Amino acid sequence: MRRPLSPNQRRRVERLVREKEERCGLCGSTGLRCEEDAATFVGGGFNVRVLCTSTGAEAHAGGFGLARDYSLTPEEARRVGLG
């Protein structure tokens, strides 16, 4: 089930991703932006989609940043206000 994220929750997810030093798999940028919703999964965690904001990087064909799914543990979900 998909669940909408508030702007504050999105900022918290982005902060968490930066703290964990996650990077774009193509260009290495730490500029990752969280999309507007999250999917729940069994066990209390969530899955969010993050996008690389470095659209000018040569690694991104067509100027689009890499999108990928990012899993939050139940503890991380509580930390960003999803628990």
10-residue stretch averages of pLDDT, the chain, 83 residues long? 92 94 87 91 84 74 73 90 83
**What does the angle CA 75 – CA 50 – CA 80 come to, to the nearest 5 degrees?**
25
The predicted structure's pLDDT at residue 6: 95
The predicted structure's pLDDT at residue 57: 59
Measured distance CA(65)–CA(55) in Å, rounded: 5
CB 28 within 8 A of CB 6: no
Q: Which contiguous run of DSSP H or E holds residue 21?
A: none
Whole-structure pTM value? 0.84
Range of the domain at 30: 2-79
CB 58 within 8 A of CB 79: no
The predicted structure's pLDDT at residue 34: 94
The predicted structure's pLDDT at residue 62: 62
Number of independent structural domains in the chain? 1
